[in-house]
Structure 1
């Protein structure tokens, strides 16, 4: 069996492409920061305000209560399913990202809650939630 008497050359890593990319990134960021400085140096008198806040705040989520007997209540008003759908459509026209939280009585039929969720979908509301309370684990 022949033995190696000389050692092979150690492989070397070519760093040239990586250095090229680093230099290009440095140039890119240097040029990019110059544009923002130029915009800030434009002589422009900005309007002054007393406080900063959004023009209108997002409305709170609407809370719909479903009672044991199937009665529906929103904003302390008792509504039918059709009235609820039209109220939600009107509210959604005013604010497109309107959210709804459904609070169903624990003893009510699931069908009542499902009808409310369907009415919300018909009104075009996609931000839906169901309110529950945490209890102890039963085994």
Structure 2
């Protein structure tokens, strides 16, 4: 019996062309499926404001909100949950639609806590949010 050694040692090279085609198709798919122009932005006035101070030349009502390092939210010394905060802001906006919400945070407060609080305020309908 004779074995064909020459055929066994010879391998067909793997072609990279189909792999490159698949990568380009995936790249094209993700480029067309992505939306790069729909970034959410939060409008903030980072100048800070004193509660009850004149804003733009006229006196406007302001609500002072304090954020603590342990993620507590205080409104006039009363601890609130995010859902309670939204309800309070909605009620305050019924009385004064141009209410300014001033956030005063401790230096140890995480950025995510501040952004989450701002999200709750925006979803409650607060027209102006300021950081102090």
Moved over 4 A (4+): none
3-state DSSP of counterpart to 1:97: coil
Give the number of the structure whose alpha-carbon radius of gyration is greater: 1
Which residue of structure 1 aligns with residue 99 of structure 2? 98
TM-score for both structures, normalised by structure 2: 0.54
Q: How far does the alpha carbon of each residue in 1:61-81 deviate from its partner, in whole angstroms, 9 at most, with x for none?
A: 101000001000001110000
Provide the alpha-carbon RMSD of the alignment: 1.6
Structure 1 residue ranges without an equivalent (≥5): 1-57, 132-139
Q: Which has the higher contact order (CA 8 A, sep 6+)?
A: 2
| Pairs within 5 Å for 1:5-84 | 60-84=61-85
Q: How far does the alpha carbon of each residue in 1:14-60 deviate from its partner, in whole angstroms, 9 at most, with x for none?
A: xxxxxxxxxxxxxxxxxxxxxxxxxxxxxxxxxxxxxxxxxxxx663
Offset of residue 115 of structure 1 = 1.2
Structure having the larger proportion of residues in strand: 2
TM-score for both structures, normalised by structure 1: 0.51
Q: How far does the alpha carbon of each residue in 1:107-126 deviate from its partner, in whole angstroms, 9 at most, with x for none?
A: 11111111111111011112
Contact 2:60 2:98 in 1 (8 A): no
> 2 CA distance for matches of 1:60 and 1:92?
10
